[in-house]
Chains A and B, each alone.
Chain A
Amino acid sequence: MSSVATGTDASSLRSASSKRRGDATFKGVTLAAGALVFVVLGAIAVFLVVKAVPALQADKSSFWTTQIWDPDGTAHFGIAALAFGTLLTSFLALAMAVPVALGVSLYVTQYAPRRLATLLGYATDMLAAVPSVVYGLWGVFFLLPHMIGTQVFLARYLGWIPLFADKNNQVSSYSKSVFGASVVLAIMILPIIAAISREIFRQVDPAQREAALALGATRWEMIRTAVLPPSWPGVTSAVMLGLGRALGETIAVALVIGNVYKIDWHTLIPGGHTIAANIANRFGEAGATGRSALIASGLVLFVITLAVNLVARYVIYRAGAEERSAL
């Protein structure tokens, strides 16, 4: 046996070392792929900064406080109106989408029978799958013309709020406005918030819910006492992820916003612009400085969305939940 053993020993030793080498190589390759994620994120920041600098140096007025955008002509341009419009449209969209999204995901997880819930899940996912350019096209040719009545209504009855005031009687005709863009954005981020909060509501321990019901709670009381409290961190981050999406949405907004470079609280009148939409609409005509200026504005957008996403993910990770849902 020993004579045989020497032979097998040698070969098994060899195979063991080749096995180890194969393992080390494979691990190295996968590690390199993992490291590439760091590299890509870093490269995005570095290249945006490098290509933004020429425009920032060429800018004859302050980049942060100027509202107009004319990098190739007079070299006066700034991000103030764009950043304002980005934040305004995104927060209006959140205000519209969040209650609806939470209502839907509560309905799907707490009220609907299982089969219906699955079906509704597909339906909301479908809403997320529609390309943003289709939303833009639909917004321009269907939603905006059909929204005039709503705008008139808002201006008439809620006009005392500056947001909905009708300045110079412009509300009753077709127009591309901040409000229209916010509605389109709301429709687009709704399925994202709904999908994540759905997963989060699903994670609630059934024993808690049953205990609440057993104590005589109505279904709403059960939701308020057993479902919502443990879900708040998750819901918060779902909302923030929706916000991140709204801030960065480009094409749909580019088609339905007024392209006006002015800080204006009146959301119903023609006007408004966002950082991302500005990039899409001005890129075609941009010269060297123009492109660089657009990259500078994109850098600002990148930093804002990165911050929002970091906070959102941090909240999820700290909550310790493994609920990194599919979106």
Chain B
Amino acid sequence: MSTLTATGLRTGVLPRWGLAGAAAGAVAVTVALFALTPFQGTVDFIVVAAVLMVAAVSVTSWAVEGRRRAKDRLATSAALCFLALTLTPLVFVIGYTVKEGIKRFNGNFLTHSMAGVGPISSGGGVYHAIIGTLEQVLVASAIAVPLGLLVSIYVTEYAGGMLATSIRFLIDVMTGIPSIVAGLFVLAFWVLALGQGFSGFAGGLALAILELPIVVRSAEEMIKLVPASLREASYALGVAKWKTIVRIVLPTAASGITTGIMLAIARVIGETAPVLLVVGNNDFIHTNPFNGPQSSLPLFVFEGAGSSSAFDVQRAWAAALTLVLIVVVLYVAARVLTRRNALNGR
């Protein structure tokens, strides 16, 4: 196909085997380099080989096809390398978490708390942390979801002009608030100024601040997708605007909004910083979120990661695996939901 382009007609074209040859040559040079010089290590080998390959392909292409084609090849191979660079950490983060986490991850770990388990004992589990996390996220969602829906309804259905733009703008700015600042705010406001003390509810408040803008943004996009003809049909039948929104617009957008909420929950469930500041910490099962310190999964991981006990670190990995699994399940469920709706819509 490339032979038909103008450049291809005037200049030489590098055949497939030419590219493969250049790449193979680069690998051969790398092997020689690692055999003859102090270079060593698998990662180093891959990096050096990749750099040499890009160079070899570009230089060969320059010699045969000219400068423009060579640049194009260079850009293509650079983009591929960057892609590999992006996917590598993903594989290593997930892979290593599974490898380390699976050692302690079992039914016993999920159903027991840390009550009476010291840092030098290998037992214990995350039951209390799972309860804490679920309750805190529930509190956060109970606040952020209805509020977020109302804001998105106001922005899409009612407000026009400056007010809508400024609310949208602030919501966007709110997505950029660091989670630790949300935690500090709840600490300053709820724990210190109002003297409420550490509790799961305070953690829920902090998480709600982080969840709200995500819910608003996704719900807004979904409500915008509802066809105007549906609204107009409803108005034509004499239905009030608020009833149209509640009975026609929201149900139509419901599946998309649900997806957005699930993704928002997946985002905040792993937040550690706000929880660290306002939830306190607790080794025991504490089911009341409104009073007294609780634990949470991310907090459990953080405490374990900073501990000098190997058992704590093992537990931290297993808890991290639990957390990643929860996030992945939420994420995949949201995607499946989106896909199914896309198929239904066809």
Chain A residues with a Cβ under 8 A of chain B: 19-20, 22-23, 25-27, 29-34, 36-38, 40-41, 43-44, 47-48, 50-51, 99-104, 106-108, 111, 120, 122-127, 129-138, 140-142, 146, 149, 187, 190-191, 194, 216, 218-221, 223, 241, 244-245, 247-251, 254-255, 276, 279-280, 283, 291, 294-295, 298, 301-302, 305-306, 308-310, 312-313, 317, 324, 326-327
Per DSSP, chain A at the interface is helix
* Contacting residue for A30 out of B158, B168, B176, CB 8 A: B158
Residues in A whose Cβ lies below 8 Å from that of B181: 44, 48, 248, 298, 301-302, 305
Nearest 5 pairs of A and B residues by beta carbon: A248-B178, A131-B270, A103-B82, A309-B176, A33-B150
Given contacts A138-B97, A219-B72, A305-B181, contact A326 B302 (CB under 8 A): no
Interface bin, chain B = 35 or more
For B147, the closest partner residue in chain A by CB is A33
State the B residues within 8 Å of A (CB): 5-7, 41, 43-44, 68-69, 71-72, 74-76, 78-83, 85-87, 89-90, 92-94, 96-97, 100, 147, 150-151, 153-155, 157-159, 163, 165, 167-182, 184-185, 187-189, 192-193, 209, 212, 217-218, 221, 240-243, 245-246, 266-267, 269-273, 276-277, 298, 301-302, 304-306, 313, 316-317, 320, 323-324, 327-328, 331, 335
Contact of A135 with B93 in the complex, beta carbons under 8 Å: yes
Question: What would 18 more interface pairs be, CB under 8 Å, given A133-B320, A141-B96, A251-B272?
Answer: A27-B242, A33-B150, A34-B154, A123-B90, A129-B266, A131-B269, A131-B298, A131-B324, A216-B7, A218-B68, A220-B75, A248-B177, A248-B178, A283-B277, A295-B187, A295-B188, A305-B176, A317-B165
Would you give the shortest CB distance from B20 to chain A, in whole angstroms? 19
Residues of B within 8 A of A47 (CB): 185, 188-189, 193
Query: Judging by beta carbons under 8 Å apart, are B242 and A123 in contact?
Result: no
> Chain A residues with Cβ under 8 A from B175's Cβ?
309, 327
Nearest B residue to A278 via CB reads B180
Q: Which of the residues B7, B150, B327 comes within 8 Å of A130, measured between beta carbons?
A: B327
User: How far, in Å, is B331 (CB) from chain A's closest CB?
Assistant: 5
List chain A residues, Cβ under 8 A from B153. 30
Find chain B residues with CB under 8 A from A25 CB. Answer: 242
Contacts of A309 in B (CB 8 A): 172-173, 175-177
- Quote the shortest CB–CB distance from B336 to chain A (angstroms): 12
Partner of A134, one of B68, B75, B301: B301
Decide: A19 and B240 in contact? CB cutoff 8 A. yes
Once the chains bind, are B179 and A223 in contact (CB under 8 Å)?
Answer: no
B153 to chain A, nearest CB (A): 5
Interchain CB contact under 8 A, B240 and A23: yes
- Nearest-neighbour CB distance to chain B for A179, whole angstroms, equals 16
| B178 touching A301, Cβ below 8 Å | yes
Q: Are A298 and B180 in contact (CB under 8 A)?
A: yes
In contact, A220 and B71 (Cβ under 8 angstroms): yes
**In this complex, what residue of B is CB-closest to A142?**
B96
Expressed in whole angstroms, the Cα–Cα distance for A298 and B209 within the complex equals: 16
